[in-house]
Structure 1
Amino acid sequence: MEIVEKLQNPNNGDEIKLNPTSNSKPKVVVIMGATGSGKSKLAIDLASHFPIEIINADSMQVYQGLDVLTNKVTPQEQKEVPHHLLGTISPCVEFTAKDFRDSTISMINEVWSRNRLPVIVGGTNYYIQALVSPFLLDDSVEEAEINCLSDSQEDEQPDLEVELMSEDYDCAYNRLKDIDPVAANRIHPNNGRKINQYLNLYARFGVIPSKLLQEKTVENWGQVDNSRYDFCFLCVNASLTTLDPFVDRRVDHMVDAGLLKEVLDIYTMNADYTKGLRQAIGVREFEPFLRCYIMEHQKPCSESHGQTLNDQILKQNIQHIVDSPDDNEWKALLTEAIQQVKLNTRRLVRRQVSTTPFYGR
């Protein structure tokens, strides 16, 4: 017996057939594109024409906190469109591609149970690939990777470890991408710990990590074939000459909107910037400025509400540096950090463009 699921278009009442037969795969829309290309706006615009729910696929926006820095869609901008995996994960945990895959499969089923269309939105390509491809649907692959990485750490080469840890994350990531683009495409560019592990695997065994860990399975990585869903991909494209100045303006807007106050809220000296929310571009870049400023200006606090007051004063003083037209050593250090955020964001845009399979097609 043929099962036809029909959803009404709220604008004109036309029927939209999303799942025409019981044998058909559920339909899922995926909106991809580089940072600043307008993915979120497109998704929300679609909601005025179709009954949809949005599932966030940005690896930093899934975390609680840093709403300005990670450019989360505000409640006003959401226009009452349901959003999932947006600011729901603890900032201290590592939310992997496998975690995203497992959570999203469950959410897709829930959205479909409400006779609505799931729309995946985000620029984290390895999250989307984990959902799209059958590659990560075999949990034994993940277990093999964990075991292999664990075994390899028993005799890691100390000299190589020091060398990699002193490298800029971007340089180390590009080095891994040159050696093994498949492995590089699976991890966040700021995940220095995993980058380090993969490079050490290559140094130890002389075999690229993806081949060592997955062998033949890797051939299907990122391919839509045999997926459990019927995907419709919408790729939002824009030229780098358009995106670069937009990114710079957006960073300036974030600074004006309180980016530094957010970073100060989670700032800890000698923090681990390879896990959780601290991987986000715009956190590590302010480390030199915040470290120097806090060490010089933070005074012992009184026992009564002293720490809260001290934090407030620090935020006010730092915001004064942001707003002040005066040039001084603090302004110069802050300006350097802001320029580094812009540079690293532009680099991210280029990585997203180079690893999004639909660009240029």
Structure 2
Amino acid sequence: MIQAPRKSNKMEQPRVEAKKKPKAVFVLGATATGKSKLAVAIAKRFDGEVINADKIQVHDGVPVITNKVTEEEMAGVPHHLLGVLPADAEFTAEDFRREAGQAVDRVLAAGRLPVVAGGSNTYVEELVDGDGAAFRRAHDVLFVWVDAAPELLWWYTALRVDDMVVRGLVDEARNAFLDVGGEAADYARGVRRAIGLPEMHAYLLAEREGAGEEELAGMLACAVQEIKDNTFGLAQAQVAKIQRLSTLEGWDVRRIDATPVFARMAESGATACDKQAWESLVWEPCEAMVRRFLETTSPAAPVVTVEDNASIAAGGGGSDGEPTNDAVLLALMVMVV
């Protein structure tokens, strides 16, 4: 007669199954360093989508002044949180953490790579470390920092402002200009916080009041110079913030020095970066580090399974029908690892 196998009283050992953490790439950098271009390139190469992390570009309106990425520059890559809010809407760092977190989840659910890019480092820090660093604990994160020497960054930010003037900065500011009875407009809310709008206020007010041509020309020159100064001041503040973030625990910040690219532009007098220089000095090292990052497995919190749950319910080896102290301790230790 064939006898049924005897059931062991020994508790089955829990089995720990390591799951991979979902990955996300962040592109950091001061204004005018080419974050948007690099984010799009990463997304195209690694089947990703871009989540905007610029607190001004999240609003609709003034695309020239905010230097919003164009449809052509997107190159078919889906972008999230770009121009989705009314011009005067409030959008706090906590709002960004919630909305950007949901966007990241949607991108991951589609089997694609989230690429978060933008110069509002307060937003980035809130997403990564807010709510008890829930995002950083749940995701494997790489931070790519595009940087350049200050003197070249000053040169290029000024060059870009001149280009914005050519592309319609003054008309765009004029269309957005609002004042009632000569009262100063509110430049502390929504898209109107953008550098390029407050600086133009005095000029536009004088223009509306019928100032002479010579006076207006001088005021416009002063406004444009103020935009350049404030833009470079923003860039310096952004660099300082990234330097601080790079010292924090859990922030894997990899710096890419784009100084030679800007230097070649300055030497040649070009207004756009040399494609070959950008690819060899910025894109290729970036592509290599992102590829290595994606190929590396970082385990998430382990999932604990037990082969025979009934053995625990029955006592897990205890002769009196209660689990032994050792069995309870082992189960608890495995569950909290």
Q: Could you state the TM-score of these two structures normalised by the residue count of structure 1?
A: 0.60
Amino acid of the structure 2 residue aligned with 1:31: V
**Aligned 1:294-305 pairs, distance under 5 A:** 294-296=208-210
CA distance in 2, matches of 1:114, 1:83: 14
1:78 aligns with 2:66: no
SS at match of 2:231: helix
For structure 1, the 5+ residue unaligned runs are 1-20, 139-222, 298-320, 322-326
The answer for the alignment partner of 2:35 in structure 1 is 39
**1:130 to partner: Cα distance:** 0.6
Q: TM-score, with normalisation over the residues of structure 2?
A: 0.64
- Name which of structure 1's ranges 340-349 and 233-242 shifts more when overlaid on structure 2: 233-242
List gaps (5 residues or longer) in structure 2.
1-16, 247-252, 256-337
- For residue 31 of structure 2, give the secondary structure of its aligned residue in structure 1: coil
* Partner secondary structure for residue 271 of structure 1: coil
1:249 aligns with 2:245: no
The Cα offsets for residues 319-360 of structure 1, whole Å up to 9 and x where unpaired, read as xx9xxxxx8211100000000000000100100011113389
Q: Say if 2:59 and 2:82, in contact at 8 Å, map to a contact too.
A: yes
Structure 2 residue matching 1:277: 3-state secondary structure: helix
1:9-28 alignment, distance < 5 Å: 23-28=19-24
* Structure 2 counterpart of 1:263, from 173, 176, 179: 173
Output aligned runs, 1:204-243, within 5 Å: 227-243=137-153
Superposed, 1:1-361 pairs within 5 Å as: 23-133=19-129, 136-137=130-131, 227-269=137-179, 270-296=184-210, 328-356=214-242, 357-358=245-246
Query: Secondary structure at the residue paired with 2:228?
Result: helix
The CA distance in 2 between the partners of 1:333 and 1:54, in whole Å, is 39
- Conservation of the 8 A alpha-carbon contact between 2:51 and 2:81: yes
Q: What RMSD in Å do the two structures reach over aligned CA positions?
A: 2.1
CA pair 226-249 structure 1, distance change in 2 beyond 3 A: closer
Point out the more displaced range, 27-36 or 42-51: 42-51
Q: Distance in 2 between matches of 1:124 and 1:50?
A: 24
Please give the secondary structure, in 2, of the residue aligned with 1:296: coil
Question: Runs ≥4 in structure 1, deviation > 2 angstroms?
Answer: 21-25, 223-228, 357-361
The count of residues paired between Structure 1 and Structure 2 equals 227
CA distance in 2, matches of 1:336, 1:30: 36
| Identity score, percent | 39
Bigger Rg, which one: 2
> Does the residue aligned with 2:44 lie in a helix, a strand or coil?
coil
